[in-house]
Structure 1
Amino acid sequence: MSFRPCSRVACPDESVATLTFDYGDSMAVLGPLSIQREPHAFDLCDRHARLTSVPHGWQLIRLSTMGTPGTPAEADAPGGPDA
């Protein structure tokens, strides 16, 4: 696999995760890096993947990346259900 930089502006780090959105269900899914670059997805480095949050009322689902167990992150994100 060739080097794919993070989608965040001015971030030169290598991507390790892919972020996709389902606008109809107000849901974002952060999972392992996709096999190929997708035009409607965002490839993120480890730091930006860890710092990703979603708007109030949205759900963020984190799937297993780089050997870490997947966990629903809705409660961890700003504006989550406990906010």
Structure 2
Amino acid sequence: MTNRECSRPSCRGEATTTLTYDYADSLIVVGPLSPLPEPHSYDLCERHTDRLSAPQGWQVMRHAYVD
């Protein structure tokens, strides 16, 4: 357990991924939970990660661990 909650309002789910925005490239990057909380990123639970959608014209890049 990470003891970090999802950044979405009213969600108390355990954070599993970290989301960051690259505004210059209209890109959303979602990857494994960062080791430490970052002030310009968002930690998301599995449910909100799965439901993530990008604004029109933006792309989503998803990184995952490979065993």
Which TM-score band applies after superposition, normalised by the shorter structure? over 0.9
Where does the alignment leave 5 or more consecutive residues of structure 2 unmatched? none
Amino acid at match of 1:64: A
> Is structure 2 residue 19 aligned with structure 1 residue 34?
no
Greater CA radius of gyration, 1 or 2? 1
Residue aligned with 1:53, SS: coil
Amino acid at match of 2:41: A
Residue aligned with 1:35, SS: coil
Q: Which has the higher contact order (CA 8 A, sep 6+)?
A: 2
C-alpha contact (below 8 Å) 2:2/2:15 kept by paired residues: no
Residue aligned with 1:15, SS: coil
Where does the alignment leave 5 or more consecutive residues of structure 1 unmatched? 68-83
Once superposed, what is the RMSD of the aligned Cα atoms? 1.4
In the alignment, which residue of structure 2 is the partner of 1:51?
51
**TM-score normalised according to structure 1 size:** 0.75
**Deviations 1:4-40 (CA, angstroms, capped at 9, x unpaired):** 0000001011000000000000000000000000000
The separation in 1 between residues aligned to 2:2 and 2:54, in whole angstroms, is 29
Runs of 4+ in 1 over 3 A off after TM superposition: none
Amino acid at match of 1:43: D
Percent identical among aligned pairs is: 50
How many equivalent residue pairs? 66
**Deviations 1:27-55 (CA, angstroms, capped at 9, x unpaired):** 00000000000000000000000101110
